[in-house]
A = this chain, B = another copy of it.
Amino acid sequence: MSTISETYTVTGMTCGHCVASVTEEVGAIDGVTNVAVDLPTGAVTVTSTKPVSVDAVRAAVDEAGYSLV
């Protein structure tokens, strides 16, 4: 099965707990199979089996308490 990867930038994450929160919320989006967060840069790479809207990612990041650039 082919997958899609998109990288976003999230601001406000300061520690591993923040990373875990964002990973959990974004990982719960339908179709998402992996979330990779780089804390220093805020880069969040979302891998999915189908297209994921930026609005869905933004809502998940907001839910976790952070902001999508």
Contact = CB atoms under 8 A, between A and B. Distances in A.
Nearest to A13: B15
A16 B14 CA distance: 10
Contacts of A18: 15, 17
A21 B14 CA distance: 14
A48 B18 CA distance: 30
Interface in A6-55: 14-18, 20-21
A14 B14 CA distance: 6
Contacts of A20: 17
Contacts of A65: 16
Interface of A: 14-18, 20-21, 65
